[in-house]
Structure 1
Amino acid sequence: MNPKDDHYYIDQVKNGKLSAFSYLVEKYRDMVYGLSLKMLKNTEDAEELAQDTFVKAFQSIGTYRGSSKFSTWLYRIAYNGAITQLRKRKVELYSLDEQRLSDQDELDIANRLTEIDQEALAGSLKKAMATLPADDQVLITLFYYEDQRVEDIAQITGLSESNVKVKIHRARKKMYSFLKENLEEAVFNVL
């Protein structure tokens, strides 16, 4: 087995070589912390959740069957932990308003926005992401920034694949509306 393969280290841990788990922690700590921070929006809570995620993963490694990628399994643990913390805080997640914008319109706008100063656009995208509910931010992050497939996101979040697609689509529309309002001059100059 290739020593770089996650399954090699997982098997090592299952066979009693507990120090092999440190490789998995090192490899996935930024990913888990990033997801935790996106959802909880607090560095201390995110650090605590990341630690809890690895503790739970270590304690449950015997139940990992390998039917999905280890990163997906780990994301699922972190996601569930974040949802639990958010429920404890009694944070309400608001549904998105429907927007009347076709997919072709989105594509046209996206193509034209590439002409806008990339640095200004990156800052605006960050602000647009902040307007989304935490669960939608996670979906956008997983899909666009972490390059996770819809199938993997569905496993991580417990949502159906079609629900993941719909939520990502709606989140993109909401971000578009924010960008349109806040970059109105730049967007309409491009149009």
Structure 2
Amino acid sequence: MTNQDDSFYINKVKQGDLQAYTYLVDKYKNMAFSIALKLSRNTEDAEDAVQESFIKAYHKIDTFAYNSKFSTWLYSIVYRTTAYNLRKNTISTQEITDTTFHNLEDDENTDLSDAEQKRFITEAIDKLPEIESIIITLFYLNDNTIAEIESITGLSKSNIKVKLFRARKALKIELKHILKDEIKSIL
């Protein structure tokens, strides 16, 4: 589906067609939930934030001016709503603690299925600090540009690039650690 499809449905919603909004919710609910979950680290809080965000987006859809993709506009609402709820509820989040990671032998051959690869990558991303997890998810899994991520998170482009660099390094280390543990459990 292209951005033109979104425009069609956005215009219908602006004209009062509530059913057209269902299309937009269905299309973007999974990534919206992923962003909220990575930030809040709590399923119930993420669900609440996503629901609140979709309600806010519906009420503010007249302000959407097509200056960016609808997804960028929506995800910025999700991000800010989740962050505000976290501050409001003073929920503390847990950072990754320093752990000694051991490298896998370069010559080890591991043939993983697509499902296993996805599971390991998701597990590693979930262990990253919240903002790095969100940036990695938006950039690689959702194909957002740096400019779109800047719009969503409110971070500067240079800050996003630094966090993306750090996240990639941390992800590589975390994947090596996870795969090493997986190989040990198999053997």
SS in 2 for 1:16: coil
Q: How many angstroms apart in 2 are the aligned matches of 1:25 and 1:53?
A: 10
- Aligned mate of 2:111, from 109, 113, 117: 117
- Aligned mate of 1:140, from 118, 131, 136: 136
Tell whether 2:167 aligns with 1:171.
Answer: yes
Per-residue deviation, 1:130: 2.7
- Aligned mate of 1:162, from 155, 158, 163: 158
Structure 1: gaps spanning 5 or more residues = 98-108
Matched letter for residue 161 of structure 1? K
Identity %: 41
Per-residue deviation, 1:138: 0.6
Per-residue deviation, 1:58: 0.6
8 A contact 2:37–2:43 mirrored in 1: yes
Q: How many angstroms apart in 2 are the aligned matches of 1:24 and 1:76?
A: 15
Equivalences, count:
173
SS in 2 for 1:85: helix
* Aligned residue in 2 for 1:27: 27
Q: TM-score, normalization: structure 1?
A: 0.76
8 A contact 1:132–1:171 mirrored in 2: yes
Alignment RMSD, CA only?
Answer: 3.1
Per-residue deviation, 1:92: 5.4
Matched letter for residue 125 of structure 1? I
Matched letter for residue 138 of structure 2? L
Q: How many angstroms apart in 2 are the aligned matches of 1:14 and 1:36?
A: 26
* Aligned residue in 2 for 1:149: 145
Tell whether 2:93 aligns with 1:89.
Answer: no
Q: How many angstroms apart in 2 are the aligned matches of 1:16 and 1:179?
A: 47
Q: TM-score, normalization: structure 2?
A: 0.77
8 A contact 2:125–2:133 mirrored in 1: yes
> Cα–Cα, structure 1 residues 172 and 158, in superposed 2: closer, same or farther, change >3 Å?
same
